[in-house]
Amino acid sequence: MRNFETARTIKFRQTALRPESERTISHIEEFGCSVVSVARTNYGLGWSYTIGIFDTCGKPEIITVGLPPETAHFALNEAAKLLRAGVDLTKGRHGQLVGEVDCEFRPLDQKWIAQLMDWAVWYYDGADFPVLQAVYPDLENRFPEDAQFDKAFEQPLMQPTAKMTRVENDSWASTDPTSSLFNWKFPDPPHTGVYLSETVHNGIEPVTYVSHDAEDGTWQLLGNSMSDGGGPVLSCFHHPIDRDPSLAELADLPLGWYAERAKVGELWVRKKHSSDEESG
């Protein structure tokens, strides 16, 4: 059935479509939109978004971040029906979309479209289309900017006026293949505090010595001058990994072990700390 056939879908039908493209076009033609879900990674939140609403009825596409795919799929399809019925989702709050709580729909900053909605960018041949973010609250119906909001339900707020806080920066980095958060390998979270020598922190020396202390799990990342390089400087774990992705090779370094290399690009030599070293 092609209840929502448009000039754009007809144009796509005139080309050779891959199976996944064929499914997207078919869903748009039959239901008025297709929903894409991107799985969460080791650190980054997953997200889901619509394709085709703007093409078939001139209303904004919708995206939501952090919801389970099944929940997001239901919420986005129901929201699309409301838009098609003439409801202005940007006015007030809307229930019966995400469990027992309300949902708000806020305009998306254009910069997030190219970052998160590549399949929609393909469909529209660019990022020039409106999008609303479906923002959800915690179980007590408190939204992210409300006092006592449960941070277990944190999500990036992607409006043009929203500040780039840690949540937004982490969400952006987790979708950037050049960032360590895109495929975070360490068991410790990216914002764990680790100790660098001052020369490593300032970029004067590369990391050639890494220790994973047995007593408290602390990580130390030092250069050739070791502790004589100044410091220690406390840093978020992901900062030195962003500068030198080869450090991720030590993600499985056990507690009580250290690793050394002569220079960047050479193999790490792993050794277990002796009891004397561990005791100081």
Task: Examine the domain organization and report whether 108 and 162 are in the same domain.
Answer: yes
User: Is the link from the previous residue into 160 a cis peptide, with omega within 30 of 0?
Assistant: no
Q: Is residue 213 part of a domain?
A: yes
Provide mean pLDDT across the span 142-161.
96
169 and 195 share one domain: no
Looking at the structure, tell me whether residues 54 and 155 fall in a common domain.
Answer: yes
What is the extent of the structural domain holding 68?
7-177
Mean pLDDT of 231-241: 94
Task: Note whether 220 and 214 are within 8 A (CB).
Answer: no
> Could you say which of 177, 199, 230 is where a domain stops?
177
Do 230 and 197 lie in a common domain?
yes
What are the b/e assignments for 93-105, b being 16+ CB within 10 Å?
Answer: ebeebbeebbbbb
Is residue 2 assigned to a domain? no
- pLDDT band of 220, cuts 50, 70, 90: very high
In this prediction the pTM is: 0.88
- Residue 86 counted as domain residue: yes
State what percent of residues in the chain have pLDDT above 90.
Answer: 91
For residue 205, being part of any structural domain is answered with yes
DSSP string, 47-106: EEEEESHHHHHSPPEEEEESS-HHHHHHHHHHHHHHHHTT--TTSS-EEEEETTEEEEEE
* Model pLDDT, residue 279: 43
CA dihedral 189, 70, 88, 105 (to 10 degrees): -10
Percent of the chain surpassing pLDDT 70: 98
For 75-88, how does the pLDDT look when each residue is reduced to its tens digit (9 = 90+)?
A: 999 999 999 999 99
Dihedral sign from CA coordinates of 29, 113, 65, 244: positive
H helix or E strand, kind and range, residue 9: helix 7-13
Q: How many domains, in total, are found in the chain?
A: 2
**195 and 173 fall within a common domain:** no
Q: Select the more confidently predicted residue: 229 or 271.
A: 271
Average pLDDT rounded to a whole number, residues 158-162: 95
Q: Are residues 170 and 195 in the same domain?
A: no
Q: Are residues 102 and 217 in the same domain?
A: no
Please state the φ and ψ torsions of residue 271, each to the nearest 5 degrees: -145, 150
Does some domain include residue 259?
A: yes
**Do 195 and 75 lie in a common domain?**
no
Q: How confident is the model at residue 274 (pLDDT cuts 50, 70, 90)?
A: confident
Contact between 28 and 48 (Cβ < 8 Å): no
Q: Are residues 48 and 121 in the same domain?
A: yes
Q: Is 60 exceeded by the pLDDT of residue 7?
A: yes
| Terminal alpha carbon distance of the chain | 73
